[in-house]
């Protein structure tokens, strides 16, 4: 099936707008988590300095740092800012380069689909567990970051896969958007 150049350009433009909005949303989430983590750790330090340590601040800070890492990874996926090694693929001829980029994108998506599935499957196991210092906070809530962020990453990666598939067939010197485009 061949996509016309006009249709491909429209799809690419729509994906670009979606990714920009999606990226802004994730920026807000990551920014909010950073601010909350800063406030929480600062409050823990201040309370410790005045002799009234908060028993929960270490555990909550650890959870917030993990959440920041997972949601930050979703933002990095949108921006194509994950570590990559495109040099090997860049020396390939355009046709094989495009195929390898598409295959790599499919592998990345498959990994995060699997991670999301495993994340959801552990939820019933954690149903009765709670945080140690805050017994009213369910571990299901704490660990929900795994399937949620995996889904967010899959959305970002699928948009990039569509870019690779819809991109005009490569001519000499081009192979469509590379897996690590955001790193150059």
> What pLDDT does 12 receive?
84
Q: Rounded CA gap, 22 and 123, in Å?
A: 26
pTM of the model: 0.85
**Domain tally for the chain?**
1
On whether the CB atoms of residues 116 and 154 are closer than 8 A, the answer is yes
Residue range 132-155: mean pLDDT, rounded: 95
CB 130 within 8 A of CB 137: yes
* Predicted pLDDT at 173: 46
Confidence of residue 102 (pLDDT cuts 50, 70, 90): very high
Domain limits for position 115: 5-183
Q: What's the confidence (pLDDT) of residue 180?
A: 52
Indicate if the pLDDT at residue 152 is higher than 70: yes
pLDDT of residue 181: 54
Tell me how far apart the alpha carbons of residues 10 and 31 are, in angstroms, rounded to a whole number.
31
Give the pLDDT band (50/70/90) at residue 100: very high
């Amino acid at each position: 099936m061949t996509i016309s150049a006009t249709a491909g350009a429209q799809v690419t433009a729509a994906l670009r707008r979606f990714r920009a909005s999606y990226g802004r949303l994730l920026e807000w989430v990551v920014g909010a988590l950073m601010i909350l983590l800063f406030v929480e750790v600062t409050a823990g330090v201040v309370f410790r300095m005045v002799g009234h340590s908060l028993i929960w601040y270490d555990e909550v800070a650890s959870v917030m740092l993990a959440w920041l890492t997972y949601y930050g990874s979703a933002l990095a996926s949108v921006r194509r800012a994950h570590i990559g090694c495109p040099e090997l693929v860049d020396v390939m001829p355009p046709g094989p380069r495009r195929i390898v980029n598409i295959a790599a994108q499919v592998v990345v998506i498959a990994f995060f689909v699997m991670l999301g599935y495993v994340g959801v499957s552990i939820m019933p196991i954690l149903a009765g567990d709670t945080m140690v210092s805050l017994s009213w906070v369910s571990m299901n809530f704490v660990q929900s970051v795994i399937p949620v962020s995996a889904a967010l990453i899959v959305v970002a990666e699928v948009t990039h896969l569509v870019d690779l598939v819809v991109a005009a067939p490569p001519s000499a010197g081009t192979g469509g958007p590379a897996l690590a485009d955001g790193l150059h």
